[in-house]
Structure 1
Amino acid sequence: MLDLRTIPIFDHHAHPLLPAEATAVPQTFQRWFTESSDPLVHKRDTPHSLFLRSGVRWLAEFLDCEATLEAVLEARGQRPYTQWINALFKDARIEHVLCDYGYLSDDGYDAEKMQAVLPCPVQPILRIESLAEKLICEQAAFFTFVEAFQEALSKAQAEGIVAFKSIVAYRSGLEVKRPSTRDAHDAFNRLKEIANCSDNVRLDDKPLNDFLLGIMVEEAARRQMPIQFHTGFGDQDADLRTANPLGLRSLIEQTDAPLVLLHAGWPYYRELAHLTAVYPHVYIDLSLAIPFATTGIPTMLREILGMTPLNKILFATDAFTMPEIYWLAARWGRWGLSKVLTEFVAEGFLTQPEALHTAEAILFANARDLYQQK
């Protein structure tokens, strides 16, 4: 197979780490090898997943220890955590990270801490739902809220934000409409009542969600800032019935802002490959599907690469919580991509130089160019 180990990775979609002690025992470590939030799944089912079993074996090889989770954690714990993070990132050749801090736990690493522990540049992504929830709590009235939201978006690029992100798929679905200002105002009032009672709020009212997306899309188009949209599977509260990327078709046709549809839309990667092929400003991201699809990754990649222009496919890890997820996602990604590109060369679809150029584009150059990080 083609050797892709020396090709660097531009990880354009990832999440913050937690301290080492947060994943220092088997129960807390293996919990992150599933998207389920059910403790029974974490305890009973996850140890039987291919993702965890292969991950333990590969980490044991890297640490030169026995291939058990207990031995891996013991060997890992003997190294200073920052040194361990650096070893994994350098081995994976992850050379640039874009990080979404929109769901930051109390012990999660903020932007300053992430940059301090990672051996590569780390730049922020702005999750608009988190911004809006903060402003709903702070602003007394709808129109001052909208003004503050618009101002924050307009300042984002100057403050170092390189992309916007939306998780509307989780909150009210991807079939985004054009609500009236009146409907958005009413939705704000409903959420404001909740915020006044609890000091926090979840932005899950469709008229306000869709209204704010319209503002964000206009600002992104004006500045040609990429927008990342969650599509397809994800955390347990993701409803696949409303997360099909085809739901974004109306929005896609109303803007020329660069739209990066995340997670290959898995399991709707065929639909997303079509959207990427026919709309010039739509891009397909491979994160989360890589690594969670494990041995199914080559099947997915064959179809995506067969349909989609190769300059519009972006690898990322969607890693979170612990550095091992970054490393394992990079390993699964290189394996799947190498397997498929090697087959393409053998079949005569690509020359070997073209295949290597494609790997470099998907792993690094496409994201570098899209996010203007040359």
Structure 2
Amino acid sequence: MGAHAKPSPPALVDHHCHGLLRTEPGPDAFAALLSESDAPAPSGTTFLDSQLGYAVRRWCPPLLGLDPHCAPAEYLERRRELGPDETARRLLRSTGITDYLVDTGLDDDLTGPEELARAAGGAAWHEVVRLERLAERIADAAGDRAEFLAGLSHAVGEAAGTAVAFKSVAAYRYGLDFEPNPPGQAEVRAAADRWLACRTPGGRLTDPVLLRHLLWSAAETGLPLQLHTGFGDPDLTLHRCDPALLTDFARAVRPTGSALVLLHCYPYHRSAAYLAHAFPHVYADVGLALSYSGARAEAVLAEALELAPFGKLMFSTDAAGLAELYVVGAELFRRGLARLLDGWVGDGAWSAGDAARVAELIGAGNARRVYGLGPG
């Protein structure tokens, strides 16, 4: 490395993310991807006027040859000049993310895991299978309840042979206040009959019995099970997405050996930290929360680190659609964690060696262990 070469950022494993848009978004579509709202910004305003929007304008323009905080119109024009492929290449390759664990159940219009990893310069990719989307595809092809349930059992087992984890959005479809124990076979058959009788092709799975059946079917494979918790778009009811509601489920599912990974968690990240503290098989992240909290990301991360064991937190971006969200997620995580750890070392509360080890654990090591990825 030359005397003035910029050092490579520490490696990160993004343990929960999504693909990118294949086409260039217009200004409104770009801004909409910076919000969880399903409605336009109020007249005369934009979703770029947010902590996430300002973080994008701080960290992404220099990677495209512009000044930090340049005007949104200037940035979007530069994006159009480069095109979606070159924009993604420049942005993704700046992040230091070595492994992408991609939830493939969000939108068929997004790039798949292999395309994402190729744009990032040949990073490793791994699939996370979304349970509800899997069940909906099986239902679309099934002729009756018996065919649906047999197909679902086969599909979960087959996915367990190739994916590194399952993911559930039961928080959206029902809430986390579901009955914790596995439903009986007669209960599952009756629920499947009800759902299939009223369902149209492509219809969403919202039946609480079938959602529980999915969760338990996945847990019994032994693979990690990622669970959306905390805030999201208006499809969910926030108070029913508190991870503390999963306490009885965490107790019940522990004998399966499956790790429960609580995603996002905000504003209940302290509840998630408690569950990770109390249960050996529970893990957490605050990835999406860091991106949306922007300049306040350090405070959110500090609150998660109050109680969670350092071997239980993991880095993620939850990026979807825009490569900018990978950049912002990585920058805010690294910088927020570095400021926290430097302060604790400076106060004498931590040693420098311990700080470096914890940064590696949260950034990559914990995910490599939990998902069986092997050394980086």
TM (norm. structure 1) is 0.90
Residue pair 2:100, 2:117 contacting (<8 A) in 1 also: no
What's the CA shift for 1:116? 3.8
Match of 2:138 among 114, 135, 140: 135
1:289 is matched with 289
- Distance in 2 between residues matched to 1:362 and 1:97, nearest whole Å: 15
- The Cα offsets for residues 185-237 of structure 1, whole Å up to 9 and x where unpaired, read as 33222321233xx32211011122112222222223xxxx1110001111221
Name the SS for the 2:305 alignment partner. helix
Name structure 1 gaps, 5 residues minimum. none
| Letter of the 2:112 counterpart | D
Name structure 2 gaps, 5 residues minimum. 1-5
Q: Counterparts in 2 of 1:106-185, with a 5 A limit?
A: 107-119=109-121, 120-158=123-161, 160-177=162-179, 178=181, 179-185=183-189
| Letter of the 1:187 counterpart | A
**Alignment: residue pair count:** 361
What's the CA shift for 1:80? 4.9
Residue pair 2:60, 2:91 contacting (<8 A) in 1 also: no
What's the CA shift for 1:115? 4.0
Name the SS for the 2:36 alignment partner. coil
Residue pair 1:290, 1:332 contacting (<8 A) in 2 also: yes
- Distance in 2 between residues matched to 1:213 and 1:143, nearest whole Å: 19
Q: Counterparts in 2 of 1:7-18, with a 5 A limit?
A: 7-18=10-21
Moved >6 Å (runs of 4+): none
- Distance in 1 between residues matched to 2:288 and 2:7, nearest whole Å: 20
| Letter of the 1:297 counterpart | A
| Letter of the 1:210 counterpart | R
- The Cα offsets for residues 335-363 of structure 1, whole Å up to 9 and x where unpaired, read as 21112111211222211121111111111
Q: Counterparts in 2 of 1:1-374, with a 5 A limit?
A: 6-21=9-24, 23=25, 25-41=26-42, 44-65=45-66, 67-105=70-108, 107-119=109-121, 120-158=123-161, 160-177=162-179, 178=181, 179-195=183-199, 198-220=200-222, 225-254=223-252, 255=254, 256-263=257-264, 265-374=265-374
Percent of aligned positions with the same letter in both sequences?
A: 30
- The Cα offsets for residues 43-98 of structure 1, whole Å up to 9 and x where unpaired, read as 73413213212322332233332501111122223325333322222211111101
- Distance in 2 between residues matched to 1:353 and 1:79, nearest whole Å: 42
- CA RMSD, 1 decimal: 2.1
Distance change in 2, residues 1:57/1:20 (3 Å): farther
Distance change in 2, residues 1:361/1:41 (3 Å): farther
Distance change in 2, residues 1:357/1:341 (3 Å): same
| Letter of the 2:77 counterpart | E
TM (norm. structure 2) is 0.90
- The Cα offsets for residues 235-288 of structure 1, whole Å up to 9 and x where unpaired, read as 22121111011111111112231111101x110111111110111110011211
Residue pair 1:168, 1:209 contacting (<8 A) in 2 also: yes
